[in-house]
């Protein structure tokens, strides 16, 4: 029998960063992290399972066949190591569901040939974290493909948040930050588990200034271990944990000024870890510094019409400004006027991975 599943999962952007691992085989973090889940900047995954085929997982570098093409999807340019990592993850899901499914009254069905096709809705090498969105999508799609009763699966997925969190834990083992893409809009990842947190902020929009599309010289996996060689690593976990507490309070009360200050300090700290490790490195480009200098002025005296933006950078040169959706047009206008040479991506907050069909 041939069955097909299509799943879409958004990327997420962290305000308190996952940087440094406690256990690298399980991707357990040194400190908790807190992020906003995006909506349209996502990965689509199509999985086909032919239960009569010989056992195996194939990654096909083509667009999913049944896909809405209106958003100009691109096939991620995965190197062989990336393909193997994805295939290993599908096998991890296959093994993990054997013990997970019975806890929810589901039956796992192994074997057969699996074909995976994926597409991103954001341009290739745009600095959007594609490992978070692709691993979240591959986890849900393959869990569905290995389930004997997909209708019951969907019911439990929709009705029981614990099931979603258990699948997020499996996803985390493939790519740490992917566990935060299972729910939204604001998600705390603590130890093994990611859960949503309360926020009194209005709907938010992420505006991304694209400084460079080049692929990273230092992968985030390398960065996770290099930061431990920085003299600033001492005390890092305690500082991040303290910031998590402060950010949760600020989000719960909708204190935009405090959220913005915490995110700005945390971003500088993560990049300072990169700049001070044993063999220092940077993700910044000259334009990153040009924009950060301008933003420093904006953050010390925000325009009258808006509270300060929430500014952050991932392990890359591109700059995220998270602003109220109702003021996104004004911010876009200002950014286009100040930096007409820099392309801009835009997305709102979202609610996490979902099965499309």
Please state the closest distance from residue 342 (CB atom) to ligand PMV, in A. Answer: 21
Contact between residue 119 and residue 43 where contact means Cβ atoms under 8 Å apart: yes
Please state the closest distance from residue 100 (CB atom) to ligand PMV, in A. Answer: 22
Shorter beta-carbon distance to ligand PMV: residue 46 or 314: 314
Least Cα distance to 5 among 152, 115, 131 occurs for: 115
Shorter beta-carbon distance to ligand PMV: residue 142 or 173: 173
Residue 42 CA to residue 11 CA, distance in Å, equals 6
Please state the closest distance from residue 201 (CB atom) to ligand PMV, in A. Answer: 19
Shorter beta-carbon distance to ligand PMV: residue 64 or 316: 316
Q: Which residues bind ligand PMV (CB under 6 A)?
A: 14, 17-19, 33, 129, 131, 175-177, 220-221, 314-315
Write the DSSP assignment of 17-30 as a string of letters.
---SEEETTTTEES
Q: Is 40 helix (H, G, I), strand (E, B) or coil?
A: strand
The answer to whether the peptide bond before residue 185 is cis (omega within 30 degrees of 0) is yes
Shorter beta-carbon distance to ligand PMV: residue 175 or 212: 175
Distances (CA, A) of 202 to 248, 251, 255, 327: 15, 10, 11, 11
Beta strand extents in the chain (DSSP E only): 2-16, 21-23, 28-29, 33-50, 56-59, 113-120, 186-190, 193-196, 204-209, 310-312, 319-324, 344-348, 354-355
Please state the closest distance from residue 331 (CB atom) to ligand PMV, in A. Answer: 23
Shorter beta-carbon distance to ligand PMV: residue 221 or 253: 221
Distances (CA, A) of 15 to 54, 204, 226, 264: 45, 13, 20, 8
Shorter beta-carbon distance to ligand PMV: residue 7 or 313: 313
Please state the closest distance from residue 132 (CB atom) to ligand PMV, in A. Answer: 6
Shorter beta-carbon distance to ligand PMV: residue 32 or 94: 32
Please state the closest distance from residue 14 (CB atom) to ligand PMV, in A. Answer: 3
Write the DSSP assignment of 98-144 as a string of letters.
HHHHHHTT--B---SEEEEEEEESS-TTSSS-HHHHHHHHHHHHHHH
**Vertex 31 angle, CA 29 and 35, to 5°:** 90
Please state the closest distance from residue 178 (CB atom) to ligand PMV, in A. Answer: 7
């Amino acid at each position: 029998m041939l069955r097909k599943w299509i799943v879409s999962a958004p990327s997420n952007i962290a305000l308190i960063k996952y940087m440094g691992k406690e256990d690298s085989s399980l991707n357990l973090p040194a400190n908790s992290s807190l992020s906003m889940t995006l909506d349209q900047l996502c990965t689509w995954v199509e999985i086909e399972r032919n239960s009569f085929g010989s056992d195996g997982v194939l990654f096909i570098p083509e667009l999913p066949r049944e896909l809405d093409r209106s958003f100009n999807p691109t096939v991620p340019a995965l190197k062989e190591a990336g393909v193997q990592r994805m295939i290993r993850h599908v096998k991890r899901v296959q093994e993990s569901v054997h013990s997970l499914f019975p806890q929810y009254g589901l039956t796992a069905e192994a074997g057969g040939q699996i074909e995976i096709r994926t597409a991103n809705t954001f341009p290739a090498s745009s600095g959007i974290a594609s490992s978070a969105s692709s691993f979240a999508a591959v986890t849900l799609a393959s869990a569905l493909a290995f389930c004997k009763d997909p209708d019951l699966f969907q019911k439990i997925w929709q009705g029981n948040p614990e099931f979603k969190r258990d699948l997020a834990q499996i996803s985390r083992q493939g790519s740490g930050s992917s566990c935060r893409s299972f729910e939204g809009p604001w998600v705390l990842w603590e130890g093994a588990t990611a859960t949503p947190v309360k926020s009194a902020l209005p709907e938010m929009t992420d505006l991304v200034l694209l400084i460079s599309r080049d692929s990273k010289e230092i992968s985030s996996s390398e960065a996770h271990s290099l930061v431990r060689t920085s003299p600033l690593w001492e005390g890092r976990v305690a500082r991040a944990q303290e910031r998590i507490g402060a950010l949760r309070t600020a989000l719960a009360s909708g204190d935009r000024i405090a959220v913005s200050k915490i995110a700005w300090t945390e971003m500088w700290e993560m990049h300072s870890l990169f700049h001070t490790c044993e063999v220092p490195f940077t993700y910044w480009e000259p334009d990153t510094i040009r924009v950060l200098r301008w933003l420093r002025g904006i953050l010390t005296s925000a325009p009258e019409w808006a509270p300060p933006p929430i500014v952050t950078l991932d392990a890359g040169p591109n700059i995220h400004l998270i602003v109220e959706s109702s003021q996104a047009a004004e911010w876009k206008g200002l950014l286009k006027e100040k930096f007409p040479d820099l392309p801009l991506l835009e997305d709102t907050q979202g609610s996490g991975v979902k099965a499309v069909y």
